[in-house]
Amino acid sequence: MVGCENSKKSDSDSNKEKCLSDDVINLDQGDPTVFQEYWMKKKDKCTVVIPAWDLMSYFSDTTNVCWFLEPELEKAIKALHGAIGNAATEERYIVVGTGSSQLCQAALFALSSLFEVKPVSIVAAVPYYSTYVEEASYVQSSLYKWEGDARTFDKNGPYIELVTSPNNPDGTMREPVVNRREDGKVIHDFAYYWPHYTPITRRQDHDLMLFTFSKITGHAGSRIGWALVKDVEVAKKMVQYLTINSIGVSKESQTRATTILNELTKTCRTQSESFFEYGYEKMKSRWERLREVVESGDAFTLPNYPQAFCNFFGKTISTSPAFAWLGYKEERDLGSLLKEKKVLTRGGDRCGCDKKYVRVSMLSRDNDFDVFIHRLATIKDLKCNQP
């Protein structure tokens, strides 16, 4: 049955009221508020208090290539990757950034400045994360140029391919598609390669990997991301970009991220406390509800994901991506249709695709997700009732 997430509770009337609310629901941005309830239950466990005299310097460790990286954060990042088994941290430089958005731009700068021929082509396979287009075009750099879909890319000369896995917007696991390694570099964006979204099938071991605090725990407001970088020259160039761009990264944010990441690592094997157990169940239940609505009509499509053995959970699990790549079976602008229902989504055209697809955030608060499911069910019925 399609209904509110808490519809079995005695306050079902107030839930019904919420379901019928007339507010605009913004599922365009992937604001990860879905996990707030988990952190509220932690109460003061991860509260961070910083005295006014502390963390005043620009510097953290002048002996480190990334001199503004707090040593405790570096340890916390390594410990977490070690516990989850999703990425190799050995023989790599960690570069911290104000979100992985800043690091992606730092990586474009670093990799393209190290090529002799410029501008370097930037590509990503369709459907791609729409922000890459802006990141690669906004400042109109002479170092690099956005060239769109990696699958149809056939220009000579150096290129950088952005590979997001699992992919934003469609949740698929991805590998590079351009195969001219001698003049190509790859940026692997692993924002969602965590066990609550996808089975951890291997320990990723690439030259340049990006991660973000935002999408692991939901703390997007802290603006912390990190890059694991093999080549010291690339790491140095990235640090140069970050130095010019923001002279480092907030130490308050690094301190908060350290505390929270350490808590994740500490509790990751305790079923009742583990954030990843909680996040996995939460995302799985949302996907089940979405699939139920979609499959009960014939208006919409969703990708199917193969189940796989997750090395972290030690069992075969399903994939529950952070975004739903929702399609409409008829040739129609699905974003506009949903907008009429006061649901804002990201049109497929922004991701290099057709407007009959939209990207829907699965990371909203419960109430917004409930309203979305409710409104989607009414569209599905509308379509089914059409002659």
As given in the structure block, the two tokens for residue 235 are 């790491």
**Residue whose CB is less far from ligand PMP, 18 or 348:** 348
**Residue whose CB is less far from ligand PMP, 328 or 357:** 357
Binding-site member from 30, 176, 218, 347 for ligand PMP (CB under 6 A)? 30
Whose tokens are 């309203």? That residue is 371
Stretch of 42-50, 99-107, 235-243, 330-338 contacting ligand PMP, by CB under 6 A: 99-107
Q: How far is the CB of 373 from ligand PMP (least distance, A)?
A: 22
- Dist. CA 333–CA 337, nearest whole Å: 6
Q: Is residue 333 a contact partner of residue 295, using CB atoms and an 8 Å limit?
A: no
Based on the shown chain and the rule CB under 6 A, indicate whether residue 120 belongs to the binding site for ligand PMP: no
Dihedrals phi, psi of 100, to nearest 5 degrees: -75, -10
Other CB atoms within 10 Å distance of the CB of residue 240: 14
Q: Per CB under 6 A, which of residues 312..351 are in contact with ligand PMP?
A: none
Strand pairing category for 308-310 and 343-344: unpaired
Based on the shown chain and the rule CB under 6 A, indicate whether residue 225 belongs to the binding site for ligand PMP: yes
As given in the structure block, the two tokens for residue 315 are 């069992």
Q: How far is the CB of 213 from ligand PMP (least distance, A)?
A: 7
Q: Per CB under 6 A, which of residues 255..314 are in contact with ligand PMP?
A: none
**Residue whose CB is less far from ligand PMP, 214 or 254:** 214
| Nearest-CB residue for ligand PMP | 99
Based on the shown chain and the rule CB under 6 A, indicate whether residue 99 belongs to the binding site for ligand PMP: yes
Based on the shown chain and the rule CB under 6 A, indicate whether residue 222 belongs to the binding site for ligand PMP: no
Based on the shown chain and the rule CB under 6 A, indicate whether residue 165 belongs to the binding site for ligand PMP: no
- Dist. CA 312–CA 108, nearest whole Å: 32
Stretch of 4-12, 97-105, 196-204, 351-359 contacting ligand PMP, by CB under 6 A: 97-105
- Dist. CA 293–CA 376, nearest whole Å: 7
Calculate the alpha carbon distances from 386 to 89, 378, 382 in Å. Answer: 55, 12, 6
Q: How far is the CB of 170 from ligand PMP (least distance, A)?
A: 12
3-state SS of 193-251 is CCCCCCCCCCCECCCEEEEEHHHHHCCHHHCEEEEEECCHHHHHHHHHHHHHHHCCCCH
Q: Can you spell out the DSSP letters for 267-330?
A: HTT-TTT-HHHHHHHHHHHHHHHHHHHHHTSSSEE------EEETTTTEEE----SEEEEEESS
Stretch of 1-9, 35-43, 96-104, 280-288 contacting ligand PMP, by CB under 6 A: 96-104
Binding-site member from 60, 64, 164, 361 for ligand PMP (CB under 6 A)? 164
**Residue whose CB is less far from ligand PMP, 100 or 320:** 100
Residue 327 sits at the vertex; the CA angle it makes with 323 and 333, to the nearest 5 degrees, is 110
Binding-site member from 60, 86, 101, 112 for ligand PMP (CB under 6 A)? 101
DSSP 8-state code for residue 87: B
Binding-site member from 35, 68, 93, 129 for ligand PMP (CB under 6 A)? 129
- Number of residues lying near ligand PMP (CB under 6 A): 13
Binding-site member from 172, 214, 265, 345 for ligand PMP (CB under 6 A)? 214
Binding-site member from 64, 86, 100, 112 for ligand PMP (CB under 6 A)? 100
**Residue whose CB is less far from ligand PMP, 189 or 263:** 189
Q: How far is the CB of 96 from ligand PMP (least distance, A)?
A: 11
Based on the shown chain and the rule CB under 6 A, indicate whether residue 168 belongs to the binding site for ligand PMP: yes
Based on the shown chain and the rule CB under 6 A, indicate whether residue 191 belongs to the binding site for ligand PMP: yes
**Residue whose CB is less far from ligand PMP, 31 or 231:** 31
Based on the shown chain and the rule CB under 6 A, indicate whether residue 127 belongs to the binding site for ligand PMP: no
Dihedrals phi, psi of 130, to nearest 5 degrees: -60, -25
Q: CA 161: distance to chain centroid?
A: 17
Strand pairing category for 308-310 and 93-98: unpaired
Q: How far is the CB of 222 from ligand PMP (least distance, A)?
A: 9
Question: In a 10 Å sphere around its CB, with 0-12 CB exposed, 13-18 middle and 19+ buried, how is residue 38 labelled?
Answer: middle
Rule CB under 6 A: which residues touch ligand PMP?
Answer: 30, 99-101, 129, 164, 168, 189, 191, 212, 214, 220, 225
